[in-house]
Amino acid sequence: MLCKRFKVTGLVQGVWFRQSTKNTAQSLSLTGWVSNMADGSVELVACGDEVQLDKLTDWLQDGPPAAKVNSVSSENIPLEPYSEFRVK
């Protein structure tokens, strides 16, 4: 089990990015959260199996159809106990 914090930049707010991320994370059995940030980016924490986190990372490179992703950064963080994946 791993947890990663991601920051996604580009046109990622107002394009259903958070809800699409939640749906994708849930389909991958990941837990955590996703939130819009004041600087226009989206931040998320996802916890689960490394293979599933890699699949989420790949999905974040494009996001939902209306998004225009410029960059995705990530870092491993200490394991956090989440029971679900939610939109903040």
Q: What is the CATH number of the domain that holds 36?
A: 3.30.70.100
Are residues 43 and 88 in contact, defined by beta-carbon separation less than 8 angstroms?
Answer: no
Instruction: Mark whether 70 is an active-site residue.
Output: no
Q: What is the pLDDT of residues 13-47, one digit of tens each?
A: 999 999 999 999 999 999 999 999 999 999 999 99
Distance (Å, rounded) from C-alpha 36 to C-alpha 54? 22
Catalytic residue among 5, 23, 36, 70: 36
User: Which domain range does residue 32 map to?
Assistant: 2-79
Q: Is residue 62 part of a domain?
A: yes
**3-class SS of residue 58:** helix
Q: Torsion angle of alpha carbons 38, 83, 50, 14, nearest 10°?
A: -30
Q: How many helices (H) and strands (E) does the chain have?
A: 2, 5
Q: What is the pLDDT of residue 30?
A: 98
Instruction: Mark whether 5 is an active-site residue.
Output: no
Q: How many domains does the chain have?
A: 1
Catalytic residue among 18, 23, 70, 76: 18
Residue 29 half-sphere exposure, CB side, CA atoms within 13 Å?
Answer: 7
User: Could you tell me the pLDDT band of residue 88, with boundaries at 50, 70 and 90?
Assistant: very high
